[in-house]
Structure 1
Amino acid sequence: MITPVTHLDEFRARTSRTSRRSRRLEHQESLRQGRAMHLIDIENLVGSTRPTTCEVEEVMTIYESLVPTGAMDQYVVAVNHTALLAVGIAFRGVRLLARSGPDGADRALVESAYDDRIDLRFERVIIGSGDGYFVNLADWLTDAGLHVTVVSRRGSLSRHLAAIVPDVVCLEPPALHAA
């Protein structure tokens, strides 16, 4: 004989801890699927604390030719306050952070990544910097199951950062224009 299920029994079954946790994990996976976060320390990629709009555009053209991007990708770009205008002109539709001082841009990007819980919302993270400051972040993201790629100029890649991530892409800045 089949026992009828009351509305209360159905409610309890749907709201049990395991089913809520299971639904939450499924929801997190659906949020992550196919999405990438680009954390870009543009000063590091350009190789200057005062990058010009033209330098930023040239480096980002190279970056985008080397790194696969998707329609659902998001960008967070950090820079010191003195370069904010030049960088802001080069980027449209990105979250732009400004922080000055030693490792200012790095600190802004790392804090943003932790505060925004990017480990729950993205499948891949691309760190556009070779600074060792990103080692702990890369380790945390890798442990959370995200695929982490570092994009860096050849001469500014931290050995520790390169050892943590599965992929490193060398960004060669554009050659100086002939006069």
Structure 2
Amino acid sequence: MPEGRTLHLVDLENLVGGPFAPAEVMLASIDQFNRLAVRSLDDLVWVGTNPRLVLQAKRLMPQARCLTKGGPDGADLALLNELDNPTWIAERFDRVVIGSGDGIFSDVAREMRTLGVRVGVVARRGTVSLRLGYAVDFVRLFRPVWYPPRRGMKSSANHPRYPQPISRAKRACA
């Protein structure tokens, strides 16, 4: 077993805040994930996404294996389908880092830990389910880069709970 090798499981939509996040938000969120997950070049990365985002995911993470499935929880299920043999993963990896806060990963995280694999979560602040948080060894959070628009709103820039910073130019004119 390679010393210190990690398998990264990234639910792209959960990591960035939804399927409609702009490309620069996706890139910033992936950078945050890579930094907090302490990703190295010989680590393996699996990215789960819906079919509409698979090309974007491949562009943003060209070294990753992209898994796709449509429907509710499609990205989660695409990743979980690949984790059907936890013993195989435990024989090859010292650590698994989940890039999602969804509780659907808690059972597989618990099973990996019983096999001696260190399991962690890297996710946006406020998105990690309690069940998943208790099932892993560590949780690392980053500040959300983007907030999905609420119904009837065109963008997160209009979101009343998340005001955008006022630029210097606007402040000078006020």
Q: Under TM normalisation by the shorter chain, which class is it?
A: 0.7 to 0.9
Q: Which residue of 2 aligns with 1:146?
A: 117
Partner of 2:42: 72
| Structure 2 counterpart SS, 1:155 | coil
Runs ≥4 in structure 1, deviation > 3 angstroms?
175-179
Partner Cα separation in structure 1 for residue 26 and residue 89 of structure 2? 25
Aligned length: 149
Q: Aligned letter for 1:35? A: R
Match of 1:166 in 2: 137
**Which amino acid letter does the alignment assign opposite residue 104 of structure 2?**
Y
- Tell me the percent identity: 34
Instruction: Give the 3-state SS of the residue equivalent to 2:52 in structure 1.
Output: helix
Q: Which consecutive residues of structure 2, in runs of 5 or more, have no partner in the other structure?
A: 147-156, 158-163, 168-174
> Does the Cα contact within 8 Å between 1:50 and 1:82 map onto a contact in 2?
no
Q: Deviations over 1:113-144 (max 9, x none)?
A: 22583122100000000000001110110011
The match for 1:58 among 25, 28, 38 is: 28
1:130–1:156 CA contact under 8 A, matched in 2: yes
Deviation of 1:32 after TM superposition, in Å, equals 4.2
Determine helix, strand or coil for the equivalent of 2:66.
strand
Greater Cα offset, 130-139 or 110-119: 110-119
Q: CA deviation at 1:93?
A: 1.2
Evaluate the alpha carbon distance shift between residue 165 and residue 48 of structure 1 in structure 2; reply closer, same or farther with a 3 A threshold. same
User: Would you say the 8 A contact 1:77–1:95 is kept in 2?
Assistant: yes
Q: Give yes or no for the alignment of 1:155 onto 2:136.
A: no
Aligned residue for 1:169, secondary structure, equals strand
Cα distance in structure 2, aligned partners of 1:133 and 1:169? 18
Partner of 1:40: 10
State which of 98, 103, 108 in structure 2 corresponds to 1:132: 103
Q: 2:67 is matched with which residue: 97, 111, 120?
A: 97
TM-score by length of 1: 0.76
Q: Of the two, which has the highest radius of gyration?
A: 1
Q: TM-score, normalised by structure 2?
A: 0.78
